[in-house]
Structure 1
């Protein structure tokens, strides 16, 4: 008899994409709105109460050719 377990994990990447056209880049106001929305979504996804600091690595910021991308991932095991 085999002695093992199996699981399926679904990873979801949540992304907020702020246009950053050259030569001007992304406006701070738009980055701030996306950042705030990403924080709210992270809190909801991970049940972090408002007023509690998020972990330093909760959100990731990536430069792309013509955008700034803010993201985090969630995993669901079935």
Structure 2
């Protein structure tokens, strides 16, 4: 285990715990802790990718709005 890890307590539904134990039992993971660490890692990477994608879309939208404003000022000024 990494030296910079921290022990936490969580509550999860029984059905999730049974599924987790099944994965450990079929040797997909060596322990509950390792399965939970893998799940958290995967969640973090997936969510970070989603957040970065949203930020890129937001930046693109801001650039598009700025271009529209420039166009309006240049060509549609009344």
Q: TM-score range by the shorter chain?
A: under 0.3
Write 1 or 2 for the structure with the bigger share of strand: 1
Bigger radius of gyration, 1 or 2?
2
Write 1 or 2 for the structure with the bigger share of helix: 2
Normalised TM-score (structure 1) = 0.27
